[in-house]
Amino acid sequence: TVEGYLREGTYGQALTELVNYHHHLPFVAYWGDGTTSASDAQFFAADGPRSALAQISRHYGFQPGILVYTHYGDQHDPYHIAILSPKEHQAPYMVDGLVAQTTDLPIREHYTDTGGFSDIGFSFCHILGWTYAPRLRDFLKRRLHCFDSPDNYPALKPLIGDKATFKRVEKQWDDILRGASSVRLGTVRCSTLMKKLSAYPRQNELALALQDLGQIERTLFMLDWLQF
């Protein structure tokens, strides 16, 4: 049964059927409306390094194991699950779950902790139509970015870092849209694209442009958060 039926495709289809049935039950409306979700990783220890993914990471101790990275809807629906190495950074896989999910959940806003955060994640979520709202442990260490002089914002000046610019974004805009369209259509996973861009010996211009766009989106998010 396991060899014949328990595959990534069949497991994903079965999970979709369960989530859809659960989503349409009247009672689950008491928990949420299905428009928000969150993702986080959980470490599971292994008996030994039998799998290439069962590796050791000092963050989780010195026993080999795997990370199960799960996307949860606000109705307590685990609508996407990925198995990662403990050495993997969670941020590249955050968008993957949002794009890959085929359930009836109308996800519009997504949350992660600091481990799932990246400025490029802000870029892809903005372009693909999701609101990204990470819970940043080091919020006070993050810098805001403005287009004009920080002197124009005396109350915020201690929080402002480098000036924001759209020059690289404008120059790389066609490639940004091409990359986002490839992710949306499933031609390439966002995690693969992000890791390829970060693997260049010198920072890639497209990666820098996505970083610039993400810093602007993160600044808007931080300002909204400060207003509360």
Report the chain's mean pLDDT, rounded to a whole number: 88
Burial pattern 117-144, b for ≥16 Cβ within 10 A else e, equals bbbbbbbbbbbbebbbbbebeeeeebeb
| Least confident piece of the model among 8-12, 124-128, 169-173, 180-184 | 8-12
Residues 133/221, Cβ–Cβ less than 8 Å: yes
Average pLDDT estimate for 177-183 = 94
Task: Name, in order, each residue with C-beta under 8 angstroms of 84's C-beta and a sequence gap of 6 or more.
Answer: 41, 53, 66, 67, 68, 69, 90, 93
Name the nearest CA neighbour of 65 among 83, 53, 77, 80. 53
Q: How far is CA 130 from CA 42, 89, 152, 168, in A?
A: 24, 21, 31, 23
E strands present in 74-217: 78-84, 109-112, 131-132
Please tell me the total number of residues recorded for the chain in this structure.
Answer: 228
Q: For 4, phi and psi rounded to 5 degrees?
A: -85, -30
Q: How far is CA 89 from CA 22, 40, 103, 148, 167, in A?
A: 31, 11, 26, 34, 29
Residue 156: per-residue pLDDT: 87
Average pLDDT estimate for 183-198 = 90
Residue 219: per-residue pLDDT: 94
Q: In the predicted model, is pLDDT for residue 181 greater than 80?
A: yes
Q: In whole angstroms, give the CA distance from residue 64 to residue 43.
A: 10
Q: Which pTM does this prediction carry?
A: 0.86
40-70 residue pLDDT tens: 999 888 765 555 555 666 666 677 888 899 9
Q: pLDDT-derived band of residue 163, with 50, 70 and 90 as boundaries?
A: confident
Average pLDDT estimate for 95-113 = 94
CA angle 185, 175, 184 (to 5 degrees): 15
Q: In the predicted model, is pLDDT for residue 107 greater than 70?
A: yes
Residue 52: per-residue pLDDT: 56
Q: In whole angstroms, give the CA distance from residue 55 to residue 73.
A: 29
